[in-house]
Amino acid sequence: QVQLVESGGGLVQAGGSLRLSCAASGGTFSNYAMGWFRQAPGKEREFVAAISWSGGGTYYRDPVKGRFTISRDNPKNTVYLQMNSLKPEDTAVYYCAAQNKLAYSDYAPFDYWGQGTQVTVSS
């Protein structure tokens, strides 16, 4: 059983930056592809970014490409989401998740989820 705890959310002005962290425990972190999702008020949860076990493969939702960067530190059991040039439409609760595969797959479910961290971008 993998436990995930996100941190780093907060309130930031448009154009600013935040770095989210997700600390994993209870499993072999490097066995999992990791992802970030977000859910804005009144909207469905959506995929943001994912990274394969080694960090060699990264994937992004189109609206965040060039602004967000996903990375991982396997010895620290942590995955990060660096968010730059933030926009009000990035406001959401951000969740990290673990997929029980080495390479990220569009078709496989994410098996473990964190509780989320709020990101609010003011205009």
Instruction: Give residue-wise pLDDT tens across range 63-103.
Output: 999 999 999 999 999 999 999 999 999 999 999 999 998 88
Q: Which pLDDT does position 55 carry in this prediction?
A: 87
Three-state secondary structure call for residue 64 = helix
Answer whether 23's CB lies under 8 Å from 115's CB.
no
Q: Which is more confident, 19 or 56?
A: 19
For the chain, percent of residues with pLDDT exceeding 70: 100
Q: Which pLDDT does position 107 carry in this prediction?
A: 83
Closest by Cα among 18, 17, 54, 19 to 34: 54
The type of residue at 29 is: F
Q: Which pLDDT does position 14 carry in this prediction?
A: 98
Burial of 43 (0-12, 13-18, 19+ CB in 10 A): exposed
- Tokens 């394969």 sit on residue: 52
Which residues, 6 or more positions from 3, have their beta carbon under 8 angstroms from its beta carbon? Answer: 24, 25, 26, 112
Q: Which pLDDT does position 26 carry in this prediction?
A: 92
